[in-house]
Structure 1
């Protein structure tokens, strides 16, 4: 076999070349095994067009895969929830069951389930391929629903190509995107939140909790119905309208997809769909996830791969999603789910503890997604650092476009919690935000929804804490608040300005949304108080939240308007841990940070390419809640030093206030570097 580029680009991987090449070959062989008569992987992944409920020319047809079943009946509002001969399924080959009905035997909005029989038992089940599942408001019972509206949504934007250089993601949750203490809707999000995101400059949204889940408080990660958009937020047509409007605003829509595990529920989910324990999931000790109270898919089964690949294609084709952020990839990659393992050396990725069936599935999923839509975006949420995750398949990788830089938010939490301000080291900060494999694109982020959940704290709440309740009026002078606002801006700027792929922010965190996220549950009296976003805080011009909102928008605008910014070289110009100063260059921009809590510097020298510079962004500006100590109208000229003539660099002398950052743009090079 020809040496794969993944190994060529990293000689340290050569001792593991046999494993890497075997994984590549396994994915190739599995694809051939799956498609057989089909021409492409996309032709194979069409299960959603065959299984589930469909309107036919002369009535209805519903099919399900249930190899352990002995009898299946369709029950629902049309049968008074009783088994009737007219609604009895017929068994086909390979464990497939089918029923054909006349047009008048079921209708739009009818509720239905399967009455599943197996040797030794019977139970009600929601069809595995159901595309619409609703919950009764009084009994809280979930049922599938016939969905065949007269007016189906027709996309206005027929073709959409994301402009994502760089990729700037606004992570969001539909239900908690409104200010009232209740569950928000797709329609409200489309009308009220999308315009905010567009105005803030983000070019992608990553929507959580789309796949139906029985427990709202799971944040959407305990999925029961993989093909059903959650009805608690509205109808499938509402979701399509949201995505269409996002595309018209130039915003790509990424789905937070969960293929790493499934809810244990048996009535609502796939737990024992046909009465067996191993239809979709492992049948041995690997069946239950030890940390998540959920079930683990058996990626070695062709039927499971077919189900999951068809799920990817369904969301791309039917709803026009632009890609996926795959949740819990670390859990998929390792038999121990990455729990209790430090991942200190390369052997940890190739020691036999990896689920190579899962690796094959992820490789095929990425190939399929990009086969369907070459412009699709795939992101891996993965913390172990497995090499090749975001490397092209043909180069020996798994094929994701990006991987989440999960170490960065952990670093910021640890720094804020454990270090005094005077101990923040620019060298350590710079290393953390730039520490990545050169052949893989990453998504930098200071915090996501994970850092905002109850039991944890957002960055702003760690910095300011309860002072936020009393001192966020603009005319209120408070040291803790001023410190928090200053560091909040600096943390975000350095995290964004060092990207090599993209950047992510969770909704509301850009303006320092107070407190945590806590979904309604028994422990809080089923309250929605902390499962919402208080947009009025950033809208009020008398509150300091507007400072942070304004800064975030201007910061995003600056980076967004630098074409291919994420691909540009990061040239570190200066660092000094004693002074807590850091400066680096990208394209014609110089980023300067002073993390010192109380020491400002006058005429501080930084070696930079010679020329004239102008300040274009300054965290200390009064419009961002700063003290206004920098005169942005003053141009800066470098000063010649013969020692650095060969390097074509000169001294750039700056006034750098304590706890501030600025961005300078090279206006024009100068011959002498002097006025």
Structure 2
């Protein structure tokens, strides 16, 4: 086969879209008609080049032009190395990357093209492997508009001319196996755009990245051996909504500054176990360029942030949490991504991951791009990413950030700045289909996990099954409850009687979805102050209000989430730039508050009435007769065995003595929690541990000011 000078020049300078068609070893026909093999190699500046075959045959190559050499050989063997000698007398012997077959199979290509590859991370990205008995790294990237893609990195002094990848046709995938590239190698993709420019991009599928502000991707290979088999097996037969779930949310970088994933394990596990939380929720751990985004502007969706260690270090942390009996939820951000030039934005010079129409492809408020949810490969990228965290890191749940921004085309847009869907509505139909697909797929492949939506509107069916038209989430953050209750507790008790509905309105819709009650990081930043600081009154009143609010929250239908620092009464609002105010625990009142949170979690976990029927309105009842008081909120929770717990909340600033309340049954009721107890830092007012309801089921109660009582019938 005769190859034109134009093609040879393009191959020589790394400008050809299919260099493997020229370089490497190819069947050919000799002048006399018999079959031979033609070997071509690129070795610029060499004075002589020889192909040395595994059977010992040495085939001298002839220089064609621009550093491209060629020769022929007979026989069957295809395995060989290239020996090149240079003018200074040195000789270099290396395997030829262009002799290797593609590392992606036909099925992989079909699934990628269709957007249905559920293990996309296994075939795209960088993977250490042995190819034809040669160790190296296989690189593959989706860049459908690229003219040329080259791998550059430490191994080639960031000169990609000798490592141009091959295009795998209409799939838009580019691929190359490079011998001798080990784990730890830093690399990027050098992309020639349709506009004729060269751009340098991090690998969208990289499973490790350099520590910011560096932006290179890093070849990595997992070596962690999991020990959480029993945890995963037990999770697989559980129904999350019918299990206790008390979540401790934290930002790894500021919980205690300076701790990496491995260092964090012992300290965090001890703290969470002492407090009795069932789960931790990490704010986003996928790689992000700007620490001040708290991880909510992701540049590397498949790479745990290297700020705190490598991927195996994160696996170690999660494994340790599981073996300690603690579940792990991670924030996931498929709603938008930053415009940093090294990352996903305009990846091959044109919109690829983002929607090309700025009315759908940009968040003006956040200065970010929005994914093109209707493009199969983009949807696949995101669905597979969710599965990746479940599969490779054994997380137990994903909390999906800013779902409302995905659901509505007019989200934070004025008239004229958005385009209706095909039906003339404001719903983003492609995003809805994506959310349904990711939820259905995750629950199918990883039973027992929890998908959680941070969704702030009244969109119907967030936690309804996808086969009934719902989005298919397991839980929805109850943002309405959060907003109303925080407004209420921020009021002076003197005025709360006029706003009782702010605390009780959530009971109207508490069973319309499966809810999580979140007091998250968003409520303790940007001038909002800490949870303790929201409480009116002096320090003692603030602590009393805090205990009452948390006891009300723990008894309310739904799972609960509390952001780090609130468990001991952080005074200042949270900042990612410093550690929590752990010194507060030198003060007895803050020690008592932390111990109180532990008591809440212990009682909660041991009382199925508080969690077993969170999705069942029949297990809840509002009570309050015969003395209805706007400052008193009372309700019951029941479990499957008929055991009932009563919560009585007095949010007024005065003690109510002799309050008459009709309980669900007569007899003795045990006061299992009194937030005003001395042991919790209160004044010690209450009911001496036992409350008696007569035949009319009426009980006379002492309700301390700013307090909550939990009553349980004696068994």
TM-score range, shorter chain: 0.7 to 0.9
Superposed CA offset, 1:376-416 (max 9, x none): 10100000121111011122211101100011221233234
1:544 aligns to 2:589 (yes or no): yes
Q: Deviation per CA, 1:275-294, whole angstroms, max 9, x where unpaired?
A: 10244433343221021111
> Matches of 1:564 and 1:544 in 2, distance apart?
30
1:411-449 deviations in Å (ceiling 9; x for gaps):
23323445554324574144234242634210013x210
Contact 1:426 1:581 in 2 (8 A): no
The corresponding residue for 2:269 is 194
- SS in structure 2 of the partner of residue 246 of structure 1: helix
Q: Secondary structure at the match of 1:276?
A: coil
**Equivalent runs, 1:61-80 vs 2, <5 Å:** 61-80=138-157
- Structure 1 equivalent of residue 82 of structure 2: none
1:126 matched residue in structure 2: 202
Q: Is the 8 A contact 2:211 2:305 kept in 1?
A: no
Q: CA deviation at 1:461?
A: 1.5
Structure 2 partner of 1:589:
645
The residue that corresponds to 2:556 in the other structure is: 498
Counterpart for residue 328 of structure 1: 402
Answering whether residue 323 of structure 2 is matched by residue 248 of structure 1, we say: yes
For the residues of structure 2 that align with 1:83 and 1:304, how far apart are their CA atoms? 27
Number of equivalent positions: 578
Note the residue ranges of structure 1 that are not aligned, 5 or more in a row.
1-33, 342-347, 465-478, 520-527, 642-649, 669-675
Deviation at 1:322, TM superposition (A): 1.2
Q: CA deviation at 1:327?
A: 0.5
Summarize deviations over 1:504-541 as a string: whole Å, max 9, x none: 1111212211211223xxxxxxxx3xx32233433x3x
Which of these residues, 599, 607, 623, is aligned with residue 562 of structure 1? 607
Q: Map 1:72-151 to 2 at 5 A.
A: 72-85=149-162, 87-93=163-169, 94-102=171-179, 104=180, 106-120=181-195, 121-135=197-211, 140-148=213-221
Query: For residues 364 and 35 of structure 1, what CA distance do their matches in structure 2 show?
Result: 20
Structure 2 counterpart SS, 1:450: helix
Q: Which runs of 5+ in 2 are unaligned?
A: 1-106, 416-420, 639-643
Q: State how far apart, in whole Å, the 2-side matches of 1:132 and 1:333 are.
A: 31
Q: Is the 8 Å Cα contact of residues 415 and 424 (structure 1) preserved in structure 2?
A: no
Correspondence for 1:483: 541
Q: Which moved more, 1:654-663 or 1:45-54?
A: 654-663
Question: Aligned partners of 2:144 and 2:708: how far apart in 1?
Answer: 63
Partner secondary structure for residue 647 of structure 2: strand
Q: 1:60 aligns with which of 117, 132, 137?
A: 137
In the alignment, the residues of structure 1 paired with residue 533 and residue 293 of structure 2 have an alpha-carbon distance, to the nearest angstrom, of 23
Indicate whether 1:580 and 2:631 are aligned.
yes
The one-character-per-residue Cα deviations of 1:224-269 (angstroms, maximum 9, x if unpaired) are 01000000011111100111111112111111111011111121x2
1:611 to 653, 667, 671: 667
Q: What do the CA deviations read for 1:59-115 (whole angstroms, capped 9, x no partner)?
A: 321100001111111111112222231x2111112211011111x2x2222211111
TM-score (norm 2): 0.77
Residue among 391, 399, 402 paired with 1:317: 391
Return the offset for 1:455: 2.4
Q: 1:198 to 1:424 in 2, by over 3 A?
A: farther
Match of 1:525 in 2: none
Alpha-carbon distance between aligned partners in 2 of 1:620 and 1:312, rounded to the nearest angstrom: 44
**Matching residue of 2:677:** 621
For residue 572 of structure 2, what is the aligned residue in structure 1? Answer: 515
2:215 aligned with 1:168, yes or no?
A: no
Q: Determine the structure 2 residue equivalent to 1:403.
A: 476
Change (3 A) 1:416 1:607: closer
Q: Do the aligned partners of residues 551 and 505 (structure 1) sit closer, same or farther apart at CA in structure 2, a change above 3 Å counting?
A: same
Instruction: Tell me, yes or no, if the aligned pair for 1:42 and 1:313 is still in contact at 8 Å.
Output: no
| Match 2:693 to one of 632, 638, 654 | 638
Which of 654, 659, 662 pairs up with 2:701?
654
SS of residue in 2 equivalent to 1:282: coil
2:418 matched residue in structure 1 = none
Q: 1:435 to 1:245 in 2, by over 3 A?
A: farther
Q: Which residue does 1:571 correspond to in 2?
A: 621
Query: Cα distance, 1:614 vs. partner?
Result: 1.4
| Greater RCO (Cα-Cα under 8 Å, separation 6 or more) | 1
The structure whose residues are more often strand, as a share, is: 2
Give, in whole Å, the separation in 1 of the partners of 2:168 and 2:499.
66
The reply to whether residue 383 of structure 1 matches residue 430 of structure 2 is no
Q: Contact conserved, 1:72 with 1:116, CA < 8 A, in 2? A: yes
Q: 1:653 to 1:351 in 2, by over 3 A?
A: farther
Deviation (angstroms), 1:42: 11
Using the alignment, how far apart are the partners of 2:523 and 2:393 within structure 1?
29
Residues 1:273 and 2:359 are matched in the alignment: no
- CA contact 2:209–2:303 (8 Å) conserved in 1: yes
1:356 shift after superposition: 0.5
Partner of 1:23: none
Secondary structure in 2 matching 1:383: coil
Moved over 6 A (4+): 34-38
- Contact 1:613/1:636 (<8 A) preserved: yes
Residue pair 1:258, 1:327 contacting (<8 A) in 2 also: yes
- Report if the CA contact (8 A) 1:42-1:368 is conserved: no
The 8 Å contact of residues 525 and 574 in structure 2, kept in 1 or not, is answered as yes
RMSD: 2.6
Contact 1:391 1:439 in 2 (8 A): no
Match runs of 1:280-359 below 5 Å: 280-337=354-411, 352-359=425-432
- In the superposition, relative to structure 1, how do residues 462 and 340 fare at CA in structure 2: closer, same or farther (>3 Å)? farther
Distance 1:621 1:420, change over 3 A: closer
